[in-house]
Homo-oligomer: A and B are copies of this chain.
Amino acid sequence: MTTTETLTAERILEATEEVLRRYGPAKATVVDVARVLGVSHGSVYRHFRTKAALREAVTARWLGRTEVLLSEIVEAPARSAEEKLRAWLACLFETKRHKAGGDPELFATYSVLITEASGVVDEHLVTLVGQLTRIVEEGVRGGEFEAPEPVVVAQAVFDATDRFHDPVHAPEWRRPSIDDEFRAVCELLLRGLRVSAVS
């Protein structure tokens, strides 16, 4: 096995994330990434044809990690749709908040990258609303939820919890009252989803 063979896309993405964090998105170059890996920049370009493609792939990988965590909640057997919805919303909030507060430099880096990769972000949002739609559909099938159009309701749940996952709201996530406010919104939405005698 030669060194070239071990240069996987994943290794390049890891190194790129580190370089972006260290130099900032304005200064980081493909040459910096190659240097960290001890390879030529040509080797990096064999995996990612442009600097923009490389940066988009880094953003997609970052957003993808959240998607994987959340999909485990969607797939979990033996939980009610209500439990899944609660867990999914709490996990999304907790993951975003952890990313924002746990590593502010990396979060600031991604806040810039995200503005460059609107296509990648749109796909991420479609994936998340798709996961929510599956939970709502499951609730409707199981007689727990009432939702004439699950995808519309899933989008509404996503939009109504915007304050607890959209990075523009990150400064508010440090407030002491935020957890109570999050719970109150979730309770109201769940009441709106549950099957009721009148509607």
Contact = CB atoms under 8 A, between A and B. Distances in A.
Interface in A158-197: 159-163, 166, 168-169, 180-181, 184-185, 187-197
Interface in A97-115: none
Contacts of A192: 188-193
A153 interface: yes
How many copies, total?
2
A156 interface: yes
Question: How many interface residues does chain A have, given as a range?
Answer: 20 to 34
A98 to B, nearest CB: 21
Nearest to A195: B198
Contacts of A160: 160-161, 163, 185, 188-189
A149 to B, nearest CB: 9
A152 interface: yes
A16 B184 CA distance: 40
Nearest to A180: B152
Contact of A156 (B184, B194, B195): B184
B193 A196 contact: no
Contacts of A162: 162-163, 169
A8 interface: no
Contact of A197 (B155, B163, B168, B198): B198
B163 A159 contact: yes
A196 B161 CA distance: 23
Interface of A: 152-153, 155-157, 159-163, 166, 168-169, 180-181, 184-185, 187-199
Given A152-B180, A156-B181, 5 more contacts: A156-B188, A160-B163, A160-B188, A162-B162, A191-B191
17 contacts: A153-B184, A153-B188, A155-B181, A156-B184, A156-B188, A159-B181, A159-B184, A160-B185, A160-B189, A163-B166, A188-B192, A188-B193, A192-B192, A196-B196, A196-B197, A196-B199, A197-B197
